[in-house]
Structure 1
């Protein structure tokens, strides 16, 4: 990249680029090839950079992919709520004392959210399974 291009398209962290591409794919309403992603990004990344990011995201199971001609077409593996739930599970799994984490989480819930969680857990949730 020349100096002018770098000023217009500053280097971003991989997580930022992944989030940008994930949001683009969620808005797309269907799977996109790396070329389509590159085009929709408006020149912010090269084709090869987009391929690398999409491949990494697929390896992390953030995206699914299917063959479309000679390329793959990528789509989000789940919706926004699914990704949020996945992040919550990851945090929970990284902590040695799951009970303490869940207890703190439950203590911080509003009454409305606590009731919603009880409903989602089902009728046996009050019995302390």
Structure 2
């Protein structure tokens, strides 16, 4: 799944935080270096859509939600997308490629285990 530029920024903020973030916490991180600040509702919509796509977990916190990455990093996101689109054929292809390199095979195994 190709992420839009703002979706990518939100995911990077969540990965960098290494803890679940509320919309307000993500907004503060995103607006820290931005000349024109994003609106709260914009970030809320993006995070909600990322949760619907399965790349963020959403859990109730107070009157809102906190969000945490459902995938470990951008590589895991790519594996998640390929598996969602191509299923078993993708796993077979990855396995064939990974059989040549034990490090790659271990990385693939971790990515597959982390994939939602």
Picking from 21, 28, 53, the partner of 1:39 is 28
Picking from 79, 84, 100, the partner of 1:90 is 84
TM-score (norm 2): 0.67
Match of 1:74 in 2: 67
Q: Does 1:113 align with 2:101?
A: yes
TM-score (norm 1): 0.61
- What whole-Å deviation, never above 9, does each CA across 1:43-98 have from its counterpart, x for those lacking one? 531000011111111111111122221111111012014323212213424xxxx4
Instruction: For residue 103 of structure 1, report the CA deviation from its aligned partner.
Output: 5.6
Match of 2:16 in 1: 27
Q: How many residues align?
A: 101
Q: Which structure would you say has the larger Rg?
A: 1
What are structure 2's unaligned runs of at least 5 residues? 110-116
Instruction: For residue 104 of structure 1, report the CA deviation from its aligned partner.
Output: 9.7
CA 1:105–1:15 in structure 2 vs 1: closer, same or farther (change >3 Å)?
farther
CA-atom RMSD in angstroms:
3.3
Match of 2:56 in 1: 63
